[in-house]
């Protein structure tokens, strides 16, 4: 059964609930960005994005950044590498120019994707963090 997306107050609702922050179509953001919940970018973004949350690149949006997030939905254009720990979805209007790493990948018909794809197992990040904690640091 397909996931149903509905609109509430012009913000899409996915399985995690309503998108908490939206950068509008007229928004331009330059720099590094981190957030914990969910973000939808509908304008221009240049920099780097790191998040434990949910990122939506809206239709018509342009993102020039390396991205590390839990879940990434692409409806616009991304120039950069994307690491989505849980899931990466590229919808029909999506364009991605860069390498991707993810545990689940969904690519719709008509998508433009130029790059390499590496599939990772769920929990790879957690295992790496546990190993890092167990290994004593050398000075």
Domain boundaries, the chain: 6-134
| 110 Ramachandran zone, left/alpha/beta (phi>0; psi -120 to 50) | left
Distance CA 6, CA 27 (A): 24
pLDDT in tens, the chain (139 residues): 444 444 444 545 444 457 889 999 999 999 999 999 999 999 999 999 999 999 999 999 999 999 999 999 999 999 999 999 999 999 999 999 999 999 999 999 999 999 999 999 875 555 555 555 555 555 4
Question: On the CB side of 119, how many CA atoms lie within 13 Å of its CA?
Answer: 3
What is d(CA 30, CA 18) in angstroms, rounded to the nearest whole number? 25
**Residues whose CB falls within 8 Å of the CB of residue 133, separated by 6 or more in sequence, listed in order:** none
Place of tokens 């969904």: 106
Q: Which residues of 32-60 are buried (b: 16+ CB within 10 A; e: fewer)?
A: ebebeebbbbbbbbeeebebebbbbbbee
What are the start-end ranges of the H helices in the chain? 124-134
Q: What's the token pair of residue 1?
A: 């059964």
Residue among 36, 52, 113 at smallest CA distance from 80: 113
Is 0.85 surpassed by the pTM of this model?
Answer: no
């Amino acid at each position: 059964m397909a996931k149903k997306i509905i609109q509430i107050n012009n913000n899409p609702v996915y399985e995690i609930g309503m998108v908490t922050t939206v950068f509008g179509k007229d928004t331009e953001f330059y720099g590094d960005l981190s957030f914990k919940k969910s973000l939808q970018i509908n304008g221009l973004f240049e920099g780097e994005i790191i998040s434990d949350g949910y990122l939506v690149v809206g239709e018509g949006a342009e993102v020039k950044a390396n991205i590390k997030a839990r879940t990434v939905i692409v409806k616009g254009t991304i120039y950069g590498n994307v690491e989505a720990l849980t899931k990466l979805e590229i919808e029909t209007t999506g364009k991605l120019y860069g390498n991707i790493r993810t545990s689940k990948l969904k690519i719709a018909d008509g998508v433009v994707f130029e790059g390499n794809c590496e599939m990772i197992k769920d929990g790879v990040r957690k295992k790496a963090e546990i190993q890092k904690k167990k290994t004593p640091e050398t000075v």
